[in-house]
Amino acid sequence: MRIERCAIGGSDLLAWESGELPAPAWFGHAWSGRVIEVGEGVEGHFEGERVVGAAPPPCGRCKHCRVGFAENCDLVLEMIIGTDALASPHGAFAEVIRVDARRVHRIPEGVDDQDAALAEPASVAAHAVDRSGIRLGDIVVVIGAGTIGLIVAELARIGGASRVLAVDPSSQRRELACDLGSDAAFAPGEDVGRWLDQQGHGLGADVVFDCVGAEGALARGVELSRRGGTVVAVGVSGQTPTAVPADLVRREVTVRASLGYTSADVHRALELLAEDRLRVSGLYDDEPIGLEQIQDTLASFAARAESSVVEAAPELRGRTVLVAPNG
C-alpha cells in the first residue's frame, strides 16, 4: 500500500507518551491508501485500488467461530490490534506498508482519502452503537467528545435517537459536537441531569456511552441513566473506572462493553460516508502534516492535553490531524 492519509488518534498519543505499544503495527492504524503491488495468489484486489485498513471476516476456524460465536472471532481481534502472525512490522506512519489482503476494505466511490482515513474510528463507533441496542426515540448521552465520541453521537442520531447530549471538558469539542448534530453539550460537572429532566422524559438517559474510560466516567454514566437504561463502556485508559454496585442494582442498569469492530462495522461506516449521512470532515485539520512533523505534533498534543484519557483525542484547533506521508 501507498499510504495517502493516516490519522493521529488518542491511542497513538498515549503510546508515544508511555513508550508502550500493543504491537508495532498499532502506531498509525487509522489510514487510507492505494494498492501498489498485489502478492502472489491474492484474489479480489488490484493495483490502484483505494482501500482502508479494516477487520477481516471471521476465520471460521478458531474456538469462538467453531462454537457459533463468530462475532468474537479470535483472528479478527488479533488483526485489529496487529498481533497476528502476518502483522506489518510497523504502522501506517510510513510511505508504504505491507498488509495482509484480509485486512483491507475497498473505499466506495465518493469517499475521499481524508474521510476514508477516519473509517477505522467510525467502525469502532458503529460497533459501540450496534452493541447499545438503541431504539427509535431514545435519549442518548455521550461522555467524551473525542473523535470516537463525536462519531458515536452522530451514529446514535442516525440510529434513531431523539435527543443526543455530549459531555467533554474541551469547549472546542463541545462546540463541534453541536455543529455535528448534538442537541446540547456540557462540561463535566455541569447539570446534565437538569437538562434531561426539563427536555427529556424526566427519567434520565435511555443510553449512555462512556467514550472516556477514566476514573468516575462509568459511574457518572450510571447516574445519568434511567432505571432500566443501558450504559456502554467504549473508552479505555490507564485509569481504573468504577461504578457503584448499589446504583447498578437499584437502577437495574445494563452495562455493555464494546471492543474494536467487525468487518460488517467497516462496511456500514464506509457506506454511511459514501451516502454523506455520516460527516467526518469537521473532525480533522484542513492541512495534513508530513512524516517529519509527527514528533513535534505529538509533543504539542501532549503539552496541550486537557486530560490523560484515551478519548480526549489529540487535537489542533479542536480537530484531529491527518498525516500525508507521500506529500
Segments making up each domain of the chain, as ranges: 2-122+261-323, 125-257
Look-up: residue for cell 426539563? 198
pLDDT given at position 311 = 39
**Phi, psi angle pair for 301, to nearest 5°:** -60, -45
Q: Tell me whether the CATH fold assigned to 2-122+261-323 matches the one assigned to 125-257.
A: no
Residues 73 and 60: their CA atoms lie apart, in Å, by 8
Which residues partner with 96 through β-bridges? 2
pLDDT at 79: 87
**Res 318: pLDDT:** 46
The total number of residues written for the chain in this structure = 327
Backbone angles phi, psi at 283, to 5 degrees: -95, -10
Q: How far apart are CA 192 and CA 166, in angstroms?
A: 9
- CATH fold of the domain at 2-122+261-323: Quinone Oxidoreductase; Chain A, domain 1 (3.90.180)
Q: What parts of the chain have a pLDDT lower than 70?
A: 237-243, 304-319
User: 125-257 is classed in which CATH architecture?
Assistant: 3-Layer(aba) Sandwich (3.40)
pLDDT at 13: 83
Q: Are strands 2-7 and 184-186 parallel, antiparallel or unpaired?
A: unpaired
How far apart (Å, rounded) are the C-alpha atoms in residues 283 and 319? 5
- Segment 199-239, tens digit of pLDDT: 888 899 999 999 987 778 888 899 999 999 999 999 876 66
pLDDT at position 234, please?
Answer: 92
Structure pTM? 0.91
The dihedral built from the CA positions of residue 67, 70, 76 and 77, taken in this order, carries a sign that is negative
Q: Which pLDDT score is estimated for 213?
A: 79
183 within 8 A of 165, measured Cβ to Cβ: yes
